[in-house]
A and B are shown apart, each in its own frame.
Chain A
Amino acid sequence: MPEPTVIDSATDSIPKVHDEVSVGANLEFQRKWWRFEHIVWSVFFLILLADLLGAFGRGWLAKAHRSTPDQALTVDYERIARASTPSILSLHFSPPAIRDNHIQVFLSDSIIQQLGAQRISPQPVVSAAGEGGITYTFAATRAPAIVQISLQPQFPGSHAFRIQLANEPAIQASTFVLP
């Protein structure tokens, strides 16, 4: 059995105040800590401000839109999203996009997989898989027409996607998903 350590005034390493009370206070360390606290609270304030502005998704800074040169298709999306959090990808179609009462649009696989497409509204008449994505055909009457896709990305990271109308240049963009 080990010998018990006896603490007396000679072996006690804790600094004493006026040689009376063992406290171990360190005011110099505390002053540094208070300075550090000020820095941390400033950073916290900036984080909240950035969040309010949408720098972490679901806000003004996160919203983005892209259009084809003739404005046939405009895509509203979130350039910054959050994992496991729903967001909406909106496709706005103008008259050049509607042909024979139908809209045909191609969505790359990354919208379905990485960005986690959950639901498409309205439902497409025809869906055809191929060329690294799915081509949807929607019934349409007259412009303006909107198709909304509910997204819920599961994995953090930058995910590029492509949306293209038949006989139109593709719209390419990316969404950065925060954990």
Chain B
Amino acid sequence: MPTILRAIIGYFVLLLVVRVLKRRAGAQMTLFEFVLIFLIGGVVILSTVGEDRSVTNCTCAVIAVALIHRTLAWAKSKNPRLGALLDGTPLIIINKGEWQQEVAEGMYLRHEDLEAAARSANIPRVEDIDYAILERNGSISVFPKEQ
């Protein structure tokens, strides 16, 4: 019982921390972000299983986390507002060729990130982008200007 309770608390604490981290934590992972994710995960595991490292305890903790995750996924599919709260919404970084400074600053987005996204889409120059969208998973979708 304490393990399941700790797993639930750990899940929501982790969810809040990851959610208030800027979106790049989940996608386009750099080594720096790998360190962050593994360190946070490792610390939460310690408090979740406590001193009881038995297979039974760890299995219960894993099942509890899986159940919460599945329940939240179901709730998100039923309630778009909850989905926006937990995953965020897509954000427009370039709108009709116009750089959206407020979004870029708010998301700590660098021009280099956009250049990388443009190269991935075979667009040689950022100026050739018509729309760039920061997706919920942290990736950047780009649409080139029509020739």
Contacts and interface: CB of A to CB of B under 8 A. Distances in A.
Interface of A: 17-18, 20-21, 23-27, 29-31, 33-34, 36-37, 40-41, 84
B91 interface: yes
Contacts of B95: 17-18
Of the candidates A20, A21, A37, the one having the most CB atoms from chain B within 10 angstroms of its own CB is: A21
Contact of A40 (B20, B92, B102): B20
A27 B103 contact: yes
Contact size range, B:
10 to 19
B138 interface: no
Interface of B: 16, 20, 50-51, 84, 88-92, 95-96, 102-103, 106, 131, 133, 143
Contacts of B96: 17-18
15 contacts: A18-B95, A18-B96, A21-B133, A21-B143, A23-B131, A24-B89, A27-B91, A27-B92, A27-B102, A30-B91, A31-B106, A33-B88, A37-B20, A40-B20, A84-B51
A37 B89 CA distance: 15
A10 B20 CA distance: 36
A25 B90 contact: yes
A26 B143 contact: no
A25 B88 contact: no
Contacts of A27: 91-92, 102-103
Contacts of A36: 20
